[in-house]
Amino acid sequence: MTNASPRPLGSDAQPEYEVVAEFTDLMPTGVTVSDHRRIFVSFPRWGDDVAYTVAEVINGRAVPFPGAQVNAWPAPDPRERLISVQSVIVDPDGYLWLLDTGAPSFSPYVSGGGPKLVRVDLTRNEIDRVFPIDDTAMTPTTYLNDVRFDFSAGHYAYITDSQSTGALIVVDLDTGDCWDRLRGHPSTQAQNQFRAVVEGVVRDQYQVGADGIAISPDGTRLFYCPLSSRRLYSVDTAALRDRDLSDTLVAETILDHGDKCASDGLESDTAGNVYATAYEHGAVLRRSPTGQWATVLQAKTLLWPDTLALASDGHLYVSVNQLPRTPLFNHGTDDRIPPYLIVRVNVGAQPIRLKP
């Protein structure tokens, strides 16, 4: 199924997009595609009746993954269940990772192993590693949002904490150690008195910190942005990893890349382009290595493009979930009209897989 997009916001002619999957009951956030073309999505528990928080899309339908039991919540041991998965991503070695907020309905996270990174072996379709996020790297209102991996210098994961004060969290996957960086820094926190305009309505209840995240092709820079902001930042990854550095010294490596659209998800490619959702416009934009922005995709039907995922066949996948119409972001009123979508557009680019 394809849809012709209207005139672009930026300088690129807009290609058609293809609807990969439609969901009538569950709102997707995360999406990722393995190099074997397997598509995975996440459905966080935000208040709907969510039977499974992770699924594989097979023939356009969502199938609980890696199984129904591990997706069942509530349960006695939060370490053994997927509580509310916000993001899914395939790493440089081909494993699938699940970022579990441990915080259903945006409530304070479940203690005792709720927030965690979960690794799935896609050859066996089984969970083989679980990395709890230590309480010392979080606050009671931490909300783990998105993650990127860098295996070029050790094995590290970088996570955005999107509570209003914002932070970046680093996980050393070789040791299991984790620590937070730039908590409450102006680049990670929600912009004061931020207002978004979505569907012609001024919305001032978005107070969301560091959200979108992407990594440079050489792994030296981590791009990020608060959802409640229109600016793009990057920070030196070596500084994030160096626990001997103070946050003040880490902050000295931040680059402010200037204005952009208000964005939820980010993505990057091997050519150094950074992609950003533009949720006020139902669009996806691309920033060149020289800082020029162009429109990749725009359509009224793309109400809240959330997560971006670049596949090895050159397609950019986008989850679309009508977030502004949910009761939480709509003054208690549910104005959603399913279906929710996973769409894709061919951008002719390659995903970044950082390995030695």
Whole-angstrom Cα distance, residue 41 to residue 202? 30
The mean pLDDT value for 18-47 works out to 98
Q: How many CB atoms lie within 10 A of CB 72?
A: 14
Q: How many CB atoms lie within 10 A of CB 8?
A: 16
Q: How confident is the model at residue 301 (pLDDT cuts 50, 70, 90)?
A: very high
Check the CA dihedral 11-13-19-23 and report its sign: positive
Residue with tokens 């493009």: 305
Asked if 276 contacts 260 with a C-beta cutoff of 8 angstroms, the reply is: yes
pLDDT in tens, 311-356: 999 999 999 999 999 998 998 999 999 999 999 999 999 999 999 9
Q: Which residues pair with 153 in a beta bridge?
A: none
The structure's pTM equals: 0.95
Check the CA dihedral 97-98-100-105 and report its sign: positive
Backbone angles phi, psi at 241, to 5 degrees: -80, -20
C-alpha 209: how far from chain center: 13
pLDDT at 11 over 90: no
Q: Name the average pLDDT for the chain.
A: 95
Q: Residue 241 gets which letter from DSSP?
A: H
Residues 6 or more apart whose CB falls under 8 angstroms from that of 336 comprise 27, 322, 325, 326
Bridge-based pairing of strands 196-198 and 178-181 is unpaired
Q: How many CB atoms lie within 10 A of CB 158?
A: 23
Q: Token pair of 71, please?
A: 């997706």
Whole-angstrom Cα distance, residue 31 to residue 39? 7
